[in-house]
Amino acid sequence: MGNRDKEEIIRYLSYKHDLPFKKIEEIVNHQFKYVVKIMKKGNLETIRLPYFGKFIVNSNRVKHINKLKENKK
């Protein structure tokens, strides 16, 4: 979904629920900020957002990225 599509959805919800655009935007973005917050902790937890999907960190990918970082040093 591009930014334009997202903006259209937010405008629609704002109009439908008679709430400010910024408030709806905050609500829509909150779930993704939560996912980022949990994943940055580094515990490799699976995060499930109902009706949206699962976000999983592949531990093999993390090992690969760490190996690349070590090789750069």
pTM across the whole model: 0.58
pLDDT digits (tens, 9 = 90+) for 15-61: 999 999 999 999 999 988 988 888 788 777 888 888 888 888 777 77
User: Which helix H or strand E contains 47, and what residues bound it?
Assistant: strand 47-49
Where are the domains positioned within the chain? 3-72
Euclidean distance between CA atoms 23 and 29, whole angstroms = 10
Euclidean distance between CA atoms 17 and 12, whole angstroms = 9
Lookup result for tokens 């940055």: 40
